[in-house]
Amino acid sequence: MKLDVDALRYLSKDDFRVLTAVEMGMRNHEIVPAELVDRIAGLKHGGTYKVLKNLLKNKLVHHDSSKYDGFRLTYLGYDFLAIKTLVNRGVFSAVGRQIGVGKESDIFEVATEDGTILAMKLHRLGRVSFRAVKAKRDYLLHRNSYNWLYLSRLAALKEYAFMKALGEHGFPVPTAVDCNRHCVIMSLVNGYPLVQVKQLQNPDEVFETVLGLIVRLAEHGLIHCDFNEFNIMIDDNEEVTMIDFPQMVSVSHRNAEMYFDRDVECIFKFFRKRFNLSGHEDEDDNDDGSESDLESNSRPTFSSITKSSGFLDKELAASGFTRRDQDDIEKYIDGGGEEIDGPDSNDEVPSDQEEQDPDENHIPLAVNMNALHLADQDDSNELNEDDALLTKRL
Residues catalogued as catalytic: 226
Phi, psi of 283 (to 5 degrees): -60, -30
Establish if 53 lies at the interface with ligand ADP (CB under 6 A): no
Element housing 49 (H / E): helix 47-57
Site for ligand ADP in 192-211 (CB under 6 A): 193
Establish if 107 lies at the interface with ligand ADP (CB under 6 A): yes
| Residue with the shortest CB distance to Mg ion | 244
Burial 25-34 (b: 16+ CB within 10 A, else e): bbeebbbbbb
Q: Shortest approach of ligand ADP to residue 102 CB, angstroms? A: 2
116 and 93 in contact (C-beta within 8 Å)?
A: no
Task: Using CB under 5 A, pick the residue from 38, 159, 229, 244 that binds Mg ion.
Answer: 244
Q: Shortest approach of ligand ADP to residue 274 CB, angstroms? A: 16
Spatial CA neighbour of 186 closest among 297, 92, 266, 256? 92
d(CA 173, CA 78): 26
SS3 content of the chain, % helix, strand, coil (to 5): 45, 15, 40
Establish if 121 lies at the interface with ligand ADP (CB under 6 A): yes
Cα torsion through 346, 179, 177, 190, rounded to 10: -20
Task: Using CB under 6 A, pick the residue from 74, 228, 231, 250 that binds ligand ADP.
Answer: 231
Task: Using CB under 5 A, pick the residue from 20, 147, 152, 231 that binds Mg ion.
Answer: 231
Partner in contact with 203, chosen from ligand ADP, Mg ion, none, beta carbon below 5 to 8 Å by kind: none
Establish if 104 lies at the interface with ligand ADP (CB under 6 A): yes
Establish if 230 lies at the interface with ligand ADP (CB under 6 A): yes
267 and 207 in contact (C-beta within 8 Å)?
A: yes
Establish if 102 lies at the interface with Mg ion (CB under 5 A): yes
Residues 351, 64, 155: CA angle, nearest 5 degrees? 55
Partner in contact with 104, chosen from Mg ion, ligand ADP, none, beta carbon below 5 to 8 Å by kind: ligand ADP
Establish if 186 lies at the interface with ligand ADP (CB under 6 A): yes
Establish if 106 lies at the interface with Mg ion (CB under 5 A): no
Give the binding site for ligand ADP (CB under 6 A): 99-100, 102-105, 107, 119, 121, 174, 186, 188-189, 193, 230-231, 243-244
